[in-house]
């Protein structure tokens, strides 16, 4: 399913979301080496393992037509994370996930970027449901999920990451997302 990804860019007020580019790898490797930033993403990785993960995401773009976006600050052009649609084999559902570098935590980038990525997944990929697989100890990601309008749906398993891992499955339907977005837009313009 190779697509021309050259022009795929999603702009939010502060962020640019786009498929990975080779220039992103150094920042990606630094992010993946940070034990605190990756605490709930499988843990810190050496550069060689970060390379394999980076290439997996890049390959998913070309084979599936979607994967995590690189998150770039529009003002500085700095790579600040990765987020977006993700559906590996045997995954518990069609996920929009996020991971932001530590010095950008608390700025609302995960919510801002995930909102755009969820819109894109529903509009462009035709997904009917979005999930977020979240470690039960990850209060920050639970807060992001709530701000996105998702609710706890139950427990699920992530296969072989690096071992079968139990997580909370948060999510919502396309209908719930659209209803909430319409109500928020109406309130904003009232």
- The arithmetic mean of pLDDT across residues 37-63, rounded, is 95
**Dihedral of the alpha carbons of 116, 21, 3, 86, in degrees to the nearest 10:** -50
72-125: per-residue pLDDT in tens?
999 999 999 999 999 999 899 999 999 999 999 999 999 999 999 999 999 999
8-19: per-residue pLDDT in tens?
999 999 999 999
Domain boundaries, the chain: 10-188
Q: Which two tokens stand for residue 136?
A: 């039960």
163-174: per-residue pLDDT in tens?
567 899 999 999
CB under 8 A, 24+ apart: contacts of 134-142? 134/40, 134/167, 134/168, 134/169, 134/170, 135/40, 135/165, 135/167, 135/168, 136/166, 136/167, 136/168, 137/40, 138/39, 138/40, 140/105, 141/40, 141/98, 141/110, 142/168, 142/170
Q: What's the alpha-carbon Rg for the chain, to the nearest Å?
A: 16
CA dist., res. 38 & res. 102, Å (int): 9
Output 15 or 183, whichever has higher pLDDT: 15
Strands 95-100 and 79-86, bridge-based pairing? antiparallel
Instruction: Give me the pLDDT at residue 189, please.
Output: 75
Choices 1.10.3720.10, 3.60.15.10, 3.40.640.10, 3.40.630.30: CATH for 10-188? 3.40.630.30
- Per-chain mean pLDDT for the chain: 93
Predicted TM-score (pTM) of this structure: 0.93
CA dist., res. 77 & res. 74, Å (int): 5
**3-state secondary structure (DSSP) of residue 84:** strand
**Does residue 2 surpass a pLDDT of 80?**
no
Task: Report angle CA 17, 160, 148 to the nearest 5 degrees.
Answer: 35
């Amino acid at each position: 399913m190779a697509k021309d990804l050259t022009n795929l860019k999603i702009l939010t007020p502060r962020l640019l979301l786009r498929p990975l580019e080779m220039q992103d790898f150094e920042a990606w490797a630094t992010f993946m080496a940070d034990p605190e930033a990756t605490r709930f993403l499988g843990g810190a990785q050496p550069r060689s393992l970060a390379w394999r993960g980076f290439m997996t995401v890049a390959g998913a773009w070309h084979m599936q037509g979607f994967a995590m976006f690189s998150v770039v600050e529009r003002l500085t052009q700095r790579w600040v994370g990765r987020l977006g649609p993700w559906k590996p084999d045997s995954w518990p559902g069609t996920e929009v996930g996020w991971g932001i570098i530590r010095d950008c935590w608390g700025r609302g980038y995960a919510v801002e970027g995930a909102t755009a990525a969820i819109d894109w997944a529903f509009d462009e990929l035709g997904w009917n449901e979005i999930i977020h697989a979240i470690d039960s100890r990850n209060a920050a990601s639970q807060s992001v999920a709530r701000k996105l309008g998702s609710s706890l749906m139950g427990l699920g398993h992530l296969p072989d990451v690096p071992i079968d891992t139990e997580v909370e499955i948060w999510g919502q339907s396309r209908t719930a997302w659209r209803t909430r977005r319409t109500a928020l837009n109406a309130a904003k313009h009232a």
